[in-house]
Amino acid sequence: MLHKFAAIVLCVFGVSAMSQAATPVLVIHGGAGVIKKDMDPATQKAVRGALTNALEHGYAQLKAGKPALDAVTAAITVLEDDPHFNAGKGAVFNHDGKNELDASIMDGATLRAGGVANVHRVKNPILLARAVMERSPHVLMFGDGAEDFAKTQGIDLVDPKYFWTEKRWQELQQALKEDAAGQHADAEKEGHFGTVGAVALDKAGHLAAGTSTGGMTDKRFGRVGDSPIIGAGTYANAGCAVSGTGWGEYYLRTVAAHEICMRVTEMHQPLKEAAEYVINKEIPKLGGDGGAIVLGADGEFATPFNTEGMFRGWVGKDGKIHVAIFPGE
């Protein structure tokens, strides 16, 4: 009799647990600050294809029952390998003609996090950020030290020439001309949007977030933006995950990613309202701009931005791939 009762209890709780399993969701971005005049049909097609590819790789992890961290890592790695985005292969050049790469990742279930800044030879910075989180006692590593750690972890290192692209090189040349003409402020304002990122919800109901970037064209003095900084460009907890893209100094000053999640999880503000307030009110009030992707534990998500466009895509609860560039898509 006891065994029969136990079996009934197990069955009931088993059904209950299964009914509470989350429907996987993946949201990605390839940077805000899209300039419409630069988006010819061929470029649009290539970018949409790259976003679709990243979603397919990331969502495959979720469908297979893998954790949100795996989906975030898979999606961002695809974007880092594509020269259309300012991360990894498509990274912009600093003032001295070098690439300085940043990335971070965070596990919402445990609040573990890892980040790397100003690395020059790491093929996929998001993989190194994850290694910092999972295989070291630290959260953030910088420059040569981060690359020394990469060597010990078997992370792929490449010749810096790997990151060179004609488009990014010409963008630097234009910025240097504007520097010489005293137009540096204008060049800076136009060059701060390039970032890629992903947020994911897995079948277990756990969230994760990650961000990767090449920083700003023509940046100097070892400048580091918000992307590798936990709480500014990336944040995830049990109820909210955020990856930002925009003028990093303002995301740092507002601790934007953390601010959004605190509004969602502590103030119980509706997710879209919280995202809208920080991205489209708080940051612009200080003089900044950009966008973000935000995902809640219930699968609700938001993609606010205040620029002409933002490369973005998602696989929602319907399991279908959607990609977009301009407002209203």
DSSP-derived 3-state class of residue 12: helix
Which residue type occupies 58?
G
Closest CA to 197 of 231, 159, 240, 241: 241
Token readout for 179 is 């520097």
Alpha helix (H) residue ranges in 106-247: 125-135, 143-152, 166-180, 184-190
Note if 195 is an active site residue.
yes
Q: Identify whether the C-beta of residue 176 lies closer than 8 Å to the C-beta of residue 187.
A: no
Q: Widest CA span of the chain, in angstroms?
A: 88
Which residues is 28 bridged to in the sheet?
198, 313
Which residue in 73, 195, 213, 303 is the catalytic one? 195
Cα separation, 103 vs 314, in Å, equals 21
Burial of 153 (0-12, 13-18, 19+ CB in 10 A): middle
Which residue type occupies 56?
E
Burial of 321 (0-12, 13-18, 19+ CB in 10 A): middle
- Catalytic sites, residue numbers: 195
